[in-house]
A and B are shown apart, each in its own frame.
Chain A
Amino acid sequence: MNSPWIHPSLILIAGALLLPLVPRALKKAYLVGVPILVFLTVLRMSAGTFGQISFLDKWTMTFGRVDSLSLVFGYIMALMCIIGSLYGAHVQDNKQHAAAWIYVAGSIGAIFAGDFITLFLFWEIMAFSSVFLVWFRGRPESQGAGYRYLLVHVAGGLALLLGMVLHCTKVGSWDFVQMDVHHPTAGIWLIMLGFILNAAVPPLHAWLPDAYGEATFNGSVFMCAFTTKTAVYALCRGCAGMEILVPLGVIMALYGVVYAVLENDCRRLLAYHIISQVGYMVAGVGLGTQMAINGACAHAFAHILYKGLLFMGCGTVLHMTGESKFTELGGLWRKMPWTFVFTLIGGLSISAFPLFSGFVSKSMIVSAGFEEHKLWVGFLLMLASAGTFLHTGLKVPYFIWFGKNKPRPEVEARAGDPPWNMAMAMAIASFLCIFIGCYTPYLYRMLPYPEVAAEYGKSVYSSYHVSETLQILLFTALGFFLLLKKLTPEPTISLDMDWFYRMGGRAFRAFARGPVQAVDTLVGELYRLAGLIPLMLTARVAGFFDNKVIDGAVDGVAYSVAAVGRRLRGAQRGQMQENLAISFAVAAVLLLALLLFTNALTR
């Protein structure tokens, strides 16, 4: 093993840059080949520290920290990249594939990062590349959703950056390791804030359904896998055992369930269930025991596959029919039977049915809660499980493929099972969901504490656990069919935390239109009065007075005020890329200044 260590993200980024040069005939093979190469690179990694670069004599960026925790996440992300790329391989748009790959590269890079600077670098790459997966949908709504997504993530990134600087200057090391979460400092709180924003913990979660419901049909397949799970990884790495995460996780798990009842768009429903499922993982990280951390990792692993599968199923419906709302769909079983079966497998996996992947991962976290004698955690997570099956296992398949609703004739005419590559991607994900559920050592051996997992594996299929799960799920199904009328989808949207910044933005715009514009007009008026009238006066009274002096001075002031007004207006009109670039440049300069400053101090 003397070959040089190659960063998997590098392969993806190079692959993305070379995309336009690949001839069309080879495109599909290339689109699958590069992620396979990445996967193989991750597979043959051995534990250790690689890819260290020093700069400014003092800092070392570690690009490759390979251990059991980073390997399990790296493995599943590379695997999901293969499936996602295969799923969208027929899309003839290099930009979309490049954005997706750079996004995955950001995610994998963050996972193998050994220090905060590298982590932050890849963290931002993730946010700035994934937003294009929303924008490429091309609808007017996607543009707005994309900007909101980006703004929220920039805010989260800044919190992370500030936290990093505070924390690392305090402890004197930039290594990204477990922090002292039992005595949290302001820096640790800010870092955690940055992490939980990406994990979509309420009230910092509204970006998720907003963006994932609006992204391209295959973009969402990528997005649902990477951002939140990278955050779960970061929490596992840095914040294990942070107690506040337990109640936050439980709230998340239930919050997603409530909104999923109200949701009319199938992809937004799935997005709310990401929040719910990530809630289990966040609670697991908060519990912090070996079993709980195992559970968080196992659940993230299983989740990436079944949620990808569910987004592929609903994405297929959107791709084929052009609709994703329950009120516009129904009775498609005759037209899209295979898509139905794949989606159902995803639904059974997320609901933790025995023999499906969720069963062997989710229960680890619940058991860890019970074992820590936090009974409320165990019971409330069980309650959320019932809700999961209710929506993803029952509501989604029922109202798309069955139900009383009839879609419009043109929607029904367009429906049909998808191109082979989409079907194959779903088949692979389905197989893996069942394989993980049936053969537990495959997943359990990869976890950070394999012995604890192996011990748990002995009792996961105990008669009690199976009986308990089947009872909850099947009696939930009974409740679903008895209350079916109450669940009939309604053509509405639900207000969520995004209301604050959407309406806040609107208030700001109104402010810009009203007072700011009024000031702008006033300045123009003043210019006329203060510029022209004295000019005429002076011309009349003293013809020799050098009018250019007055004119020039007033002109200059007025022009600069008008320019400020224009800039303020510009900020409202969508020249936000510029503003974001400026804020980032400022942040980067601040960071560098701080680095140099502390460098000078410690010398």
Chain B
Amino acid sequence: MKLVRLIEFLRDRLKPLIKICYVLLGLLVVVDALPFFVHKEGHSHTEIERLPGFWSVFGFVACVAIILVSKWYGHAGIMKRENFYDE
């Protein structure tokens, strides 16, 4: 199975793979800051979106907020043992 071998190949090189991912994330922000690549005029809806990397910060904060708020909500009494409704 070639597909399994590919996944295996990537899993064996997890550390360098993660490094590549970090570099890509950095590049994404850099490219966003260059008007030559990303035309913000006429596409962005608000002023704040024109800040370089705005959506990166938004995405990261959104993700962390969703996880923390949801888990807090769940542990505040919403999550129950699996047989909660059994009689």
CB pair B25–A370 under 8 Å, yes or no, is no
Interface of A is mostly: helix
Question: Does A567 belong to the interface (CB within 8 Å)?
Answer: no
Known: A262-B74, A386-B59. A337 touches B46 (CB 8 A): no
Known: A262-B78, A476-B63, A480-B63. A470 touches B40 (CB 8 A): no
Known: A462-B43, A464-B40. A475 touches B78 (CB 8 A): no
CB pair A479–B74 under 8 Å, yes or no, is no
Q: Which residues of A contact B20 (CB under 8 A)?
A: none
Known: A341-B3, A474-B24. A464 touches B60 (CB 8 A): no
| Contact code string B31-43 (vs A, CB < 8 Å = 1, else 0) | 1100001111001
Q: Which residues of A contact B55 (CB under 8 A)?
A: 467-469, 471-472, 475
Q: Which residues of A contact B59 (CB under 8 A)?
A: 386, 471-476, 479
Known: A334-B4, A478-B25. A486 touches B60 (CB 8 A): no
Question: Does A596 belong to the interface (CB within 8 Å)?
Answer: no
CB pair A387–B28 under 8 Å, yes or no, is no
CB pair A258–B39 under 8 Å, yes or no, is no
CB pair A483–B70 under 8 Å, yes or no, is no
Q: Which residues of A contact B68 (CB under 8 A)?
A: 486
CB distance from A497 to the nearest CB of B (A): 12
Q: Which residues of B contact A506 (CB under 8 A)?
A: 87
Question: Does A291 belong to the interface (CB within 8 Å)?
Answer: no
CB pair B67–A261 under 8 Å, yes or no, is yes
Q: Which residues of B contact A566 (CB under 8 A)?
A: none
Interface size on B, residues (CB 8 A): 47
Question: Does A352 belong to the interface (CB within 8 Å)?
Answer: no
Name A335's closest neighbour in chain B (CB-CB): B4
CB pair A387–B66 under 8 Å, yes or no, is yes
Name A333's closest neighbour in chain B (CB-CB): B7
CB pair A483–B67 under 8 Å, yes or no, is yes
CB pair A495–B78 under 8 Å, yes or no, is yes
Question: Does A378 belong to the interface (CB within 8 Å)?
Answer: yes
CB distance from A473 to the nearest CB of B (A): 7
| Contact code string B70-81 (vs A, CB < 8 Å = 1, else 0) | 110110011111
Question: Does B82 belong to the interface (CB within 8 Å)?
Answer: yes
CB distance from A548 to the nearest CB of B (A): 46
- Taking each of B57, B58, B66, B78, which has the highest tally of chain A beta carbons within 10 Å of its own beta carbon? B66
Question: Does A2 belong to the interface (CB within 8 Å)?
Answer: no
| Contact code string A377-398 (vs B, CB < 8 Å = 1, else 0) | 0100011001100100000000
Q: Which residues of A contact B77 (CB under 8 A)?
A: 495
Interface of B is mostly: helix
Question: Does A170 belong to the interface (CB within 8 Å)?
Answer: no
Q: Which residues of B contact A465 (CB under 8 A)?
A: 43
A491 to B82, CA, bound (A): 7
CB pair A471–B80 under 8 Å, yes or no, is no
Known: A333-B7, A493-B82. A475 touches B56 (CB 8 A): yes
A205 to B33, CA, bound (A): 42
A490 to B46, CA, bound (A): 40
- Taking each of A465, A469, A472, which has the highest tally of chain B beta carbons within 10 Å of its own beta carbon? A472
A542 to B28, CA, bound (A): 105
CB distance from B63 to the nearest CB of A (A): 3
Question: Does B19 belong to the interface (CB within 8 Å)?
Answer: no
Q: Which residues of A contact B3 (CB under 8 A)?
A: 337-338, 341
Of B49, B67, B71, which is within 8 A of A390 by CB?
B67
CB pair B62–A382 under 8 Å, yes or no, is yes
Q: Which residues of A contact B80 (CB under 8 A)?
A: 492-495
Q: Which residues of A contact B39 (CB under 8 A)?
A: 462-464
Name A367's closest neighbour in chain B (CB-CB): B45
Known: A471-B53, A476-B60, A494-B80. A383 touches B71 (CB 8 A): no
CB distance from B31 to the nearest CB of A (A): 7
Q: Which residues of B contact A387 (CB under 8 A)?
A: 62-63, 66
Question: Does A305 belong to the interface (CB within 8 Å)?
Answer: no
CB distance from B24 to the nearest CB of A (A): 7
Q: Which residues of B contact A476 (CB under 8 A)?
A: 59-60, 62-63
Of A262, A469, A479, A502, which is within 8 A of B63 by CB?
A479
Q: Given contacts A386-B63, A472-B59, list 17 more A-B pairs with CB under 8 A.
A: A262-B74, A337-B1, A370-B46, A375-B45, A378-B45, A383-B62, A383-B66, A386-B62, A463-B37, A464-B38, A464-B40, A471-B32, A472-B58, A472-B62, A479-B67, A491-B82, A493-B80
Residues in B lying within 8 Å of A, measured CB to CB? 1, 3-4, 7, 24-25, 28-29, 31-32, 37-40, 43-46, 49, 53, 55-60, 62-71, 73-74, 77-82, 84-85, 87
Could you jot down 6 A-B contacts, CB within 8 Å? A262-B70, A383-B66, A472-B58, A475-B55, A476-B59, A506-B87
Give me the 9 closest cross-chain CB pairs, A-B, nearest first: A479-B63, A261-B70, A475-B59, A472-B59, A464-B43, A386-B62, A471-B55, A370-B45, A492-B79
Residues in A lying within 8 Å of B, measured CB to CB? 257-259, 261-262, 333-334, 337-338, 341, 370-371, 375, 378, 382-383, 386-387, 390, 459, 462-465, 467-476, 478-480, 483, 486-487, 490-495, 502, 506
